[in-house]
Amino acid sequence: MITPIKALRKNRFKTALIFMSMSVSIAAIFLISAISGGVVSMYSAMLKTDGDIIVTQKGIADTFFSDINRSMVDNIAQIEGVREAGALILGAAPVEPLPIVGIYGVSENRFKSYTLTQGSTPKNGEVILGSKIYETLKHPKTIILSKQKFVVSGVFKSRIGFEDGGVVMNLHDGGVLFHKSASIFLVSLDDLAKSDRVVKKINTLNPDIEAKTTDSFIDSYNQFKIIKTSSDVIGAMAFLMGILGIVSMMSMVVNDRKTEFGIMRSIGLSSWVIIKKLLAETLIIALVAFSFALALSLGVLELIEHADKFQGYINGEITVSLVVNVFVVSVVMAMLGTLLPAIYAARIDPMTLIQRGGA
């Protein structure tokens, strides 16, 4: 291990360039995966709160466009095995000076999901604010939504960024604001094992609604698939860019060190020894770059999380499985990027050394 480190120190400038190229690629993969994972995870957590089953308008692509009759929630609540059913309106609107804020109209029984740190639950014409937006707006007494003034009746704290940076009002006001009865129903059960039976019963109530277990809804939710696919594509591009960066830099390194590899070939070291040597050098850079990129990504995510500009909506999530996956990707990136230049190095003809010296 000492020899590769010495070789890297000898070629400091190019080592630094490879390190930077790998760090940027790995950090990009970390960040895009963490941010997309965070968005999915936050929205999933929000839906899962008091919701074992989710009911939406049938065939709708996005919960924001869903419109269902809130009166059905009482029928659902009567179904055997249902502990509680609540309606929720999901919307978004500008709140001066913020261009877009998540607005949630919720039925009375759902207010208990919001832990108030001050004030009381909202009555008509009132709202409660997440602690993040409350701070961003500098402790407002009232806010304007679609030209209507609402009194801030309380502040709640939520670990879910979409809620902590959002505005919650009662279902009536939400309905008036967004011209709909309800977006979704969240149904909690006494016994999760009976979820399939309850889902079937709900689906027979009205042909315009569609019930799914929350897990099944999350798995099939189009928006999540789009976010995940976009994240995978951008991650793959960062991976390819990383490989191309390594290939080009390692090709320059091999060219600079032709004599060294020619000597190794002339003294009988096998091609595999030379390939292993170069792979070991890049692996060392990859390990350092991975650690650096992880620290950098954690720092950037921390900054984003606390940046007022993002209203707490972007909460990157670096899980253990993400760390393990990106580590594997980093090693594969280093190995793939080094392989071609290493094979070229292993084929350097020692004759070139002799021809430099004599006739």
Partner 1 sequence: MRIQAKNIEHYYGIEHVLRGVDISIEAGSFTAIIGESGSGKTTLLSILSTLLNPTSGEVTFDEKAISELGNIDVFRRHNIGFVFQFHYLISYLTLRENIALSALDEDSVESLMESLGIGRLAARYSDEVSGGERQRAAIARALVNRPAVVFADEPTGNLDTKNALGVYELFKHFSQEGTGFVVASHDKKIADYADTIIEMEDGKIVKILKR
Q: Where does this chain bind partner 1 (CB under 8 A)?
A: 3, 6-7, 9-10, 259-260, 262-271, 349-351, 353-359
| 193 vs 267 by CB, closer to partner 1 | 267
Q: Shortest approach of partner 1 to residue 249 CB, angstroms? A: 18
User: Residue 9 or residue 179: which is nearer to partner 1 going by CB?
Assistant: 9
Least separation in angstroms between residue 246's CB and partner 1 is: 21
Phi (first) and psi of residue 313, to 5 degrees:
-75, -20
Residue 23 C-beta: closest distance to partner 1, Å: 23
At closest approach, how far in Å is the CB of 345 from partner 1? Answer: 13
Query: 296-333 as b/e, with b when 16 or more CB fall inside 10 Å?
Result: bbeebbeebbeeeebbbbbbbbbeeebeeebbebbeeb
Which CB atom, from 238 or from 342, has the smaller least distance to partner 1? 342
Task: Give the C-alpha separation, 307 to 21, whole Å.
Answer: 27
Do 333 and 25 meet the contact criterion of CB atoms below 8 Å apart?
yes
Closest CB 349 distance from partner 1, rounded Å: 8
- Compute the least distance from the CB of residue 261 to partner 1, in Å: 10
Q: Say how far apart CA 227 and CA 279 lie, in whole Å.
A: 35
Q: Which residue has the tokens 């390190």?
A: 19
Residue 207 or 358: the one with the smaller Cβ distance to partner 1 is 358
Closer residue to partner 1, CB minimum distance, 211 or 264: 264
Residue with Cβ nearer partner 1 (75 or 266): 266
CB nearer partner 1, residue 243 or residue 264? 264
Containing 53, the helix (H) or strand (E) segment is strand 53-57
Q: How many CB atoms lie within 10 A of CB 232?
A: 13
Strands 115-119 and 148-157, bridge-based pairing:
antiparallel
Six-digit token string for 56: 């939406």
Tokens of 227: 């976010």
Phi-psi region of 219 (alpha: psi -120 to 50; beta: other; left: phi over 0): alpha
Least Å distance between CB 254 and partner 1? 14
CB neighbours of residue 147 within 10 Å: 5
